[in-house]
Amino acid sequence: MTGGVWLLRRLVASVAIVFAVITFIFILIHLAPGKPCSENLDPRVCTLLTRQFGLDQPIAVQYWRYLVELAHGNLGMSFSLRRPVWDALVETVPFTLQLAGAALVFDFLLGLGLGIYQAARVNRLPDLVLGNATLFIYSLPTFWLAPILLLVFGEKLGWFPVGGASDPIFCPQVDSLYCVADRLWHLVLPATTLGVVGAAGTARFQRAAMLEVASQDYVRTARAKGVPERQIVLRHQLRNALLSFITRFGLAFPFLLTGAVLVETIFAWPGMGRLAFDAILTRDYPVVTASALIASTVVVAGNLLADILLGFADPRLRVHAAADADVVTA
Amino acid sequence: MLSAMLRRSAFSYYIVLTVATLGACERRGGCTTAGCGTLIDAAVVEPPTLLPPSTEDIVASDIAEQLFLKLADVGMSTNTVGDEDFQPLLAQRWEWDGPLTLVFHIDPRARWQDGQRVTAADVEFTFNAYNDSAVASPFRPKLQRIEKVTQRDSLTAVFRFREKYPEMFYDAVYHMRILPAHLLRSVPREQWRTAPFGRQPVGDGPYRFVRWQAAQSIELVADTTFFLGRPGIRRLIWRFTPSLPVAVQQVIADQADIREQLVTPDNVERAKAAKQLAIYPFRGNVYTFLSFNQRAPGDTSKPHPLFGDRDVRRALTMAVDRASLVKSTLGDLGQVPPGPISALVGIWAPDIRQLPYDTAQAARLLSLHGWRDHDGDGIRDKDGQPLAFHILVPSSSGLRKQYARLLQEQFRAIGVRAEIDELEGSVVAQRTGSGNYDTAILSRSNDPSPGSGITQSWTLAGFGGSNFGRYYNPEFERIVQRAISAPKRDQARTLWRYALETINADAPGIFLYALANVGAVHKRVENVQFRPDSWAALLRTWRIPPDRLIDRDRVER
């Protein structure tokens, strides 16, 4: 029951956060200088369009209209794409989820593996080499790494496609195993760009967490009892070090979504990040606000999921959460 | 358990690797005859709609060339005077019925791709739509001299003009693509910009619309029943890549076939080094200039404190070594324009009189007007006010940002301080459109006629429109009107020359560079012709010989 109250409280807070974000974004983007017209469009035509889009109304009126439409499930009409925002999001969000999902898998599988490997060989040569390598990769800016990967593996070696999400001739739609493979092939460079920097960070994080747990009494006890080293690492150290891993999982969502903006633009990946970036530049207010709505929902949901997972991984946290809920309800 | 999991993930890795390897292999298709072939264009902009009157987006225009026909089109000469150089398209023939009436006879073989005949009613409907303010077509100002379009019978459309002038035929045919009235009549005009028709068009051109993958590609397929002959290449794909360098990489890596504008000397060199690419230079249709705002920023009722003075503008123009700037930034890819025109326009002539590069004379002129360095800080001043201003430049344009810095240095050399404001394109548009700027580096594209571009950007007709700097000289207006109305080509040319020399002397802007276009196309394609005003206008005549087909040409779907 108390767990249910805690969850309900978190859900209400999540909705409030999302609402606050879209309100903030709505006001901010409308107050920003610029207008939704290209540089060479005749200002007279621009004025006509501005009127057609209702942008000549006071911002409070526009906001109220937006909320009324939102309550009816209508995200509005994109100025730059000339189509319903919902249609644009339905087409682009799955691409961002594919990219972010692949990057997340890459990030955590590689990062976790490296972190465990380094912790098991602490202060030995592999640990030192990998420690410096991960620090080097962690400090690589994505805007530099992405074009380099494109240049080397796309243009020069020709191993991977130079941008795009699929082969426009053979696989305009993913409707066969061949086209699934084609999508994965197109995913390699953008997902690597987005995931490799995160993996380096995860590895350093995980190594530190493993080493912290290694000095705990129960690990020493297990070792004194003659438990095999592999079992100590996997069962005692790793399980307890997973708490920080789950926290990092929750924090990874904002990183992946913001990183996706740049990566999608450079790799011509047709996702929501590229859509939002273009919308900001063209002052396409409905798309910007809708993207913020989706992004904030994903981030809040990711953090909620991480909190729930933490509760499962560490019963002590469930007790604290329940106690907090009792205090509030009392 | 974890080790089992790790083993499973390793297994999944091999599966993915195998499938990905499969994906890396191209499949062989079956089409092997003439008329096969697929061309992929690496485009950097995705159009918002394919409905012609609702957009002037360049990629939309390229695609619309394949879907919607004009009545007739300019030839390779891009001569816009008279009708002798025009090629028939939808109109089989035409004749003049008096000085102000032009009669078009529509080709009876022409069909919309849903099987309906193309009729004169479509032509009348199209003209009315382009002229409807609810459609907000950017082409509307270019049709103002046509009084009305009517239908004499189902295949005869009659254009009635308000006055006689040499480019009557050009105005009648160049700006409008004929639209299917039976499909668009029921769509409210104010909804045309967002009409579903714009994303799934039905045309009458050499290609049919197949699919639009948002943010990815648009695919067209040849209409084998096209009344002017089957196109030489079966499938055209515009693949959208938001970054020019990546678009160029796609062509170099043989993952696309066409990049119609390479833009920078570096890209041209890289494309030349790719053995599968052929390079096609053609005249550019864009010029770039530093616009002087002649009215006070944000208050058009007052003159600008600096640029309201013609001699200050002239002095600043003479302080810039435009030839050296073009050479150092663009090499052979650019030229100094002889006025506010691109190389596309037929009146281009390098010997048109311009203000010289003469820093000594520039300095003298400023001193003569009281702009001297009274306080010894290296910047000229007058009545305590320094000779300083801002240069507005869109942050998205690397070339224009580079030019802003070079101009800043050249102005500094004569004691003028220029500060650079690099802002987003939408902000630049807002500030220039509302007259809230000192100077701005702007680009303008021309159609082949000097009349419409110069009128919109440099005369009273452009106030509140594209004449951002509010340049006005009654003498210039008079000469432009005479040039537009001149009955003979030579006479028009002389008048245009005089008009350009007049505006150059007034220095409403510093005309910095006109880009030459260089395109890259895969060598397997034959009969490649880039018409300067529209590279894609003759795409239907390109072809790939059967012995040069590659895998992506042969694929059947």
The set of residues, in sequence order, having a beta carbon less than 8 Å from that of B373 and lying 6+ positions away, is B379, B380, B381, B415
AA identity, residue B189: R
pLDDT of residue B8: 40
Domain residue limits at B436: 286-515
Residues on chain B touching A165 (C-beta within 8 angstroms):
216
Together in a domain, B445 and B297: yes
pTM: 0.86
- Count up the domains in chain B and report the number: 3
Two structure tokens written together for B24: 């890396």
pLDDT at B3 over 50: no
Residue % of chain B over a pLDDT of 90: 77
pLDDT of residue A32: 86
pLDDT per residue as tens digits for the range B492-527: 899 999 999 999 999 999 999 999 999 999 999 999
pLDDT per residue as tens digits for the range A252-295: 877 777 788 889 999 999 999 999 999 988 889 999 999 999 98
CA of B412 vs chain A CAs: smallest distance (Å): 28
- Residue ranges per structural domain of chain A: 88-281
pLDDT band at residue A114 using 50, 70 and 90 as cut-offs:
very high
Using a CB–CB cutoff of 8 Å, tell me whether B194 touches chain A: yes
DSSP conformational letter for B345? S
AA identity, residue B238: W
Q: Which of B425, B404, B397, B406 is nearest to B264 (CA)?
A: B397
Listed by number, the residues of chain B in 459-518 with a beta carbon closer than 8 Å to a beta carbon of chain A are 464-466
pLDDT band at residue B94 using 50, 70 and 90 as cut-offs:
very high
Residue B98 within any structural domain of the chain: yes
pLDDT at A126 over 70: yes
Residue % of chain B over a pLDDT of 70: 95
CA B71 to chain centre: 21
Residues on chain A touching B424 (C-beta within 8 angstroms):
34, 281
Q: Which of B40, B200, B250 is the best residue to mutate to test the A interface, defined by the most A CB atoms within 10 Å of its own CB?
A: B250
Contact B286, B444 (CB under 8 A): yes
B12 or A134, which is more confident: A134
Residues A80-85 have a mean pLDDT of 89
pLDDT band at residue A247 using 50, 70 and 90 as cut-offs:
confident
Helix (H/G/I), strand (E/B), else coil: A168 = coil
Using a CB–CB cutoff of 8 Å, tell me whether A162 touches chain B: yes
pLDDT at B490 over 80: yes
Whether A35 sits inside 8 A of B432 (CB atoms) is no
pLDDT of residue A304: 86
pLDDT at B23 over 60: no
b/e string for A72-100 if b means 16 or more Cβ within 10 A?
Answer: eeebbbbbbbbbbbbebbebbbebbbbbb
Residues B43-56 have a mean pLDDT of 89
Q: Which of A29, A30, A31, A44 is the best residue to mutate to test the B interface, defined by the most B CB atoms within 10 Å of its own CB?
A: A44
* Alpha helices (H) along B414-488: 425-433, 450-458, 474-485
Residues A124-128 have a mean pLDDT of 92
pLDDT of residue B392: 96
pLDDT of residue A152: 95
pLDDT at B369 over 50: yes
Together in a domain, B408 and B453: yes
- CA separation for the pair B121, B501 (Å, rounded): 45
Q: Give me the long-range contacts of B434-437 (CB less than 8 A, separation at least 24).
A: B434/A43, B434/B298, B435/B293, B435/B295, B435/B297, B435/B298, B435/B300, B435/B468, B435/B470, B436/B297, B436/B298, B437/B291, B437/B293, B437/B297, B437/B390, B437/B392, B437/B468
Residues B291-310 have a mean pLDDT of 94
pLDDT at A26 over 80: yes
Contact B231, B207 (CB under 8 A): yes
Together in a domain, B254 and B313: no
The set of residues, in sequence order, having a beta carbon less than 8 Å from that of B327 and lying 6+ positions away, is none
Using CB atoms, pick whichever of A35, A48, A238 lies closest to residue B430.
A35
Using CB atoms, pick whichever of A37, A162, A178 lies closest to residue B22.
A178
- CA separation for the pair B336, B325 (Å, rounded): 9
Helix axes A238-266, A85-120, angle to 10 degrees: 140
Whether A178 sits inside 8 A of B23 (CB atoms) is yes
pLDDT of residue B275: 95
Together in a domain, B225 and B365: no
Two structure tokens written together for A47: 């004025």
DSSP conformational letter for B556? -
pLDDT of residue A37: 80
pLDDT of residue A312: 78
Q: Which of B284, B337, B291, B289 is nearest to B467 (CA)?
A: B291
b/e string for B352-369 if b means 16 or more Cβ within 10 A?
Answer: bebbebeeeebbebbeee
Together in a domain, B491 and B345: yes
Q: Which of B110, B108, B106 is nearest to B158 (CA)?
A: B106
Contact B461, B481 (CB under 8 A): no
B299 or B238, which is more confident: B238
pLDDT band at residue A330 using 50, 70 and 90 as cut-offs:
very low
Burial bucket for residue A136 (CB in 10 Å: 0-12, 13-18, 19+): exposed
CA atoms within 13 A on the CB side of B201: 34
Helix (H/G/I), strand (E/B), else coil: B228 = coil
**Other Cβ atoms within 10 Å of B37 Cβ, number:** 27
Contact B228, B69 (CB under 8 A): no
Together in a domain, B414 and B305: yes
Q: Which of A47, A74, A82 is the best residue to mutate to test the B interface, defined by the most B CB atoms within 10 Å of its own CB?
A: A82
pLDDT of residue B29: 52
CA of A304 vs chain B CAs: smallest distance (Å): 25
Together in a domain, B354 and B496: yes
DSSP conformational letter for B74? -
Helix axes A177-214, A125-138, angle to 10 degrees: 120
CA of A264 vs chain B CAs: smallest distance (Å): 9
| Domain stop point among B148, B181, B214 | B181
Together in a domain, B359 and B492: yes
Closest residue of B to A113, CA-based? B6
What is the residue whose two structure tokens read 């050499």? B206
Residue B57 within any structural domain of the chain: no
- CA separation for the pair A203, A194 (Å, rounded): 15
Whether A172 sits inside 8 A of B443 (CB atoms) is no
pLDDT of residue A249: 79
What is the residue whose two structure tokens read 């909620």? A304
Quick one: CA torsion of B446, B447, B452, B453, rounded to 10 degrees? 0
**Which H or E run contains B222?**
strand B217-222
Q: Which of A65, A32, A58, A43 is nearest to A288 (CA)?
A: A32
Residue B338 within any structural domain of the chain: yes
The set of residues, in sequence order, having a beta carbon less than 8 Å from that of B144 and lying 6+ positions away, is B162
- CA separation for the pair B232, B526 (Å, rounded): 10
Together in a domain, B394 and B332: yes
pLDDT at A171 over 70: yes
Residues paired with residue B422 on neighbouring β-strands, in sequence order: B393
A320 or B72, which is more confident: B72
pLDDT at B443 over 70: yes
pLDDT of residue A125: 93
* Ramachandran sector of residue B435 (left: φ over 0; alpha: ψ -120 to 50; beta: rest): left
Together in a domain, B176 and B218: no
Together in a domain, B388 and B459: yes
Contact B166, B39 (CB under 8 A): no
Contact A222, A229 (CB under 8 A): no
pLDDT per residue as tens digits for the range B124-142: 999 999 999 889 888 998 8
Compute CA distances A11 → A5, A71, A309, B509, whole Å: 10, 18, 15, 59
B150 or A30, which is more confident: B150
Q: What is chain B's mean pLDDT, rounded?
A: 91
pLDDT band at residue A321 using 50, 70 and 90 as cut-offs:
low
pLDDT of residue A328: 43
DSSP conformational letter for A162? S
> Please, what CATH class does the domain formed by A88-281 belong to?
mainly alpha
Two structure tokens written together for A66: 């937006």
DSSP conformational letter for B50? -
Sheet of strand B235-240, all strands in order from the earlier edge strand to the far edge = B207-213, B217-222, B235-240, B38-43, B258-259, B517-522, B277-282
Helix (H/G/I), strand (E/B), else coil: B464 = coil
pLDDT at A319 over 90: no
Main-chain dihedrals φ then ψ at residue B530, nearest 5 degrees: -105, 110
CATH of the domain at B415: 3.10.105.10
b/e string for A179-201 if b means 16 or more Cβ within 10 A?
Answer: bbbbbbbbbbbbbbbbbbbbbbb
Together in a domain, B132 and B252: no
pLDDT at B12 over 80: no
- CA separation for the pair B346, B81 (Å, rounded): 10
Residue B55 within any structural domain of the chain: no
Contact A241, A291 (CB under 8 A): no
Two structure tokens written together for B524: 């397997």
pLDDT at B437 over 60: yes
pLDDT at B243 over 60: yes
> What number is the ipTM of this complex?
0.81
